[in-house]
Structures are given as C-alpha cells and as structure tokens.
C-alpha cells in the first residue's frame, strides 16, 4: 500500500510540475516519463572536455525504467534508491535533477523513514527549481485534531493530500493532485503571507500549524505518519525556503522604499 501511495504521489506531482511529457511504453502499458527541457548548447571554454550529462531522451528512458520497476514491484526500495542516486549524478538539467531528487525525498521519507536523507534530497529538488512533496492529512475545514466519540484523536472531516514546498511558496493539493480551494482561490501561501509556522502536539500526534496574515484560523495538518521528525522536517523546509525567500523579498522592498525616500528627501533640499 505504501509503495502504491508513493508511486501515485510521484506521477501526480510531476504532472503538475512539467508541461512536457513523453509516453514510456513497457510491455504494452503506457507510463508517463516527464522530460526536462532540451539541453542548451554550451560553447567550449578550453581544451578540457567535461563529460556531458544524459540527454533528454536518455534521462527519460532511465527514469522511466526505474519508476516502472518500483511502481510494479519489480524492484525493491533497496534496489531503487541506489539507481536514483546514480541517475541524479549523471543528470545536469535542473528539471531532471528536481524530478529525481523529488522521488528520492519521497522514498527516503515515506518508504525508509530516513528524514536526514529525505531532507537532503528535498532541498536539492527545491534548489533545482522544483519542489519537495510530503503526504499530509488535514481537516477539510481546517479544524484542529480532537478527540472523537470513539475516544480516538482524529480530524473530524479528514482529507488526505500533499503539501508541495517550493522556493518562496507552498501549495496544498488533494490526493488526486487537484488544488485545495479556499472559497474560489487555490490554497497557495507565499513567504510574505505566512506569519508563523510551528509544531503542535495533540495527544501523541505531532502536527504542523501555519498561521497566515489576514486569516481567521491557522492551517493545521499532519505530515506522513504524524511523527515528530516529519513535522519538524516540513517546518524546517518552510522556514528556510518559503519564509526565508519571502522575508528576503520584503527586506529588498523595504530597502528600495528607503532608498527612494532618501532620494526624494535629497531632491527636496
């Protein structure tokens, strides 16, 4: 079940990240293998020849085979991870590196529960202009987890989905990769919109709570298996790559306003 979930996460997530795809056929079954942009021609700067990375087609074929074997239980987690690690070393295009590291992050986090390696791969995916994707559970009305009549702590109207963490923003989607809506708007939060992100503990479950400016209630959700390491990982990534990006933009805007104010004052003298 976990293997199927991770496979679904990968294929749905990549459909939203890239507009260019190629059908990778294997024994009559079609599997979508997302392709990076065509490699740009680079002029040689000297006599030294650097080993070129994989072409778009080569990456598509290798990635497609790795994905197909894992999704169809032809390759174990222990076999799949080294192949992806080797593939990312041979890949030079940012979009291809983002896809491969995204897959690595999911497998390390949800398959092996290795948050350290998952975080390293997710950071590389974000740095390559992609996103880190984490499985989440939340209440569809964003209510806090509470004790039910059965005595269990759970979300009243539970909904499974994903959180996608990219540079400067986060996006929430459901399991079918459709954006979660708040009224008529997609639930996308930028660094400037987030006031605070923090862990919250309900019974034995570690949750993530995001407080945004101009909202009546925070966004509360559980990451993965509701373990503390998973919640802490999501919080670190948001603070570093989403809020950090937003705060930088705010500081730059503030500096620009100060410079313009100074120039105006000087011209009025």
Domains of the chain, residue spans: 1-39+53-130, 131-263
Could you count the other beta carbons within 10 Å of the beta carbon of residue 250? 12
Are the CB atoms for 173 and 162 separated by under 8 Å? yes
- Tens digits of residue pLDDT in 81-129: 999 999 999 988 999 999 999 999 999 999 999 999 999 999 999 999 9
Q: 143 or 29: which carries more pLDDT confidence? A: 143
Q: What is the pLDDT of residue 176?
A: 87
What does pTM read for this prediction?
A: 0.76
- Given a cut of 60, whether residue 50 has pLDDT beyond it is no
Higher pLDDT, 62 or 249: 62
Contact 34, 18 (CB under 8 A): yes
How much of the chain, in percent, has pLDDT values that exceed 70? 71
Name the residue with higher pLDDT: 36 or 150: 150
Residue 130 neighbours by CB distance under 10 Å: 27
Q: Of 88, 78, 64, which Cα lies nearest the Cα of 112? A: 78
pLDDT (average), residues 239-245: 90
Residue with tokens 């959700």: 221
CATH 2.30.29.30 is held by the domain 131-263: yes
40 pLDDT above the threshold of 70: no
Q: Where residue 6 falls among pLDDT bands split at 50, 70, 90? A: low
Give the pLDDT confidence of 165-207 residue by residue, as tens digits.
999 999 999 988 899 999 999 999 999 999 999 999 999 999 9
Q: What is the pLDDT of residues 67-90, one digit of tens each?
A: 999 988 899 999 999 999 999 999
């Amino acid at each position: 079940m976990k293997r199927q979930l991770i496979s679904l996460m990968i294929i749905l997530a990549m459909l939203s990240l890239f507009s260019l795809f190629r059908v990778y056929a294997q024994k009559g079954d079609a599997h979508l293998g997302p392709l990076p942009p065509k490699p740009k021609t680079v002029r040689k700067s000297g006599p030294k020849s650097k080993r070129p990375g994989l072409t778009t087609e080569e990456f598509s074929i290798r990635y497609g085979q790795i994905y197909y074997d894992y999704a169809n239980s032809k390759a174990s987690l222990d076999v799949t991870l080294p192949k992806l690690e080797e593939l990312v070393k041979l890949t030079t295009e940012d979009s291809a590196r983002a896809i491969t590291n995204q897959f690595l992050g999911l497998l390390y986090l949800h398959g092996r529960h290795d948050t350290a390696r998952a975080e390293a791969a997710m950071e590389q995916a974000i740095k390559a202009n992609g996103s880190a994707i984490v499985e989440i559970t939340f209440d569809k009305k964003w209510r806090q987890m509470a004790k039910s009549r059965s005595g269990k702590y759970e979300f009243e109207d539970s909904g499974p989905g994903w959180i996608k963490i990219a540079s400067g923003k986060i996006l929430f989607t459901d399991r079918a990769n459709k954006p979660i809506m708040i009224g008529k708007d997609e639930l996308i939060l930028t660094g400037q919109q987030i006031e605070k992100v923090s862990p919250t503990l309900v019974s034995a479950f570690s949750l993530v709570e995001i407080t945004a400016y101009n909202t009546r209630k925070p966004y509360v959700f559980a990451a993965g298996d509701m373990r503390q390491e998973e919640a802490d990982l999501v919080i670190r990534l948001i603070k570093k790559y989403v809020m950090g990006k937003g705060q930088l933009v705010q500081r730059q805007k503030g500096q620009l306003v100060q410079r313009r104010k100074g120039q105006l004052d000087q011209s009025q003298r």
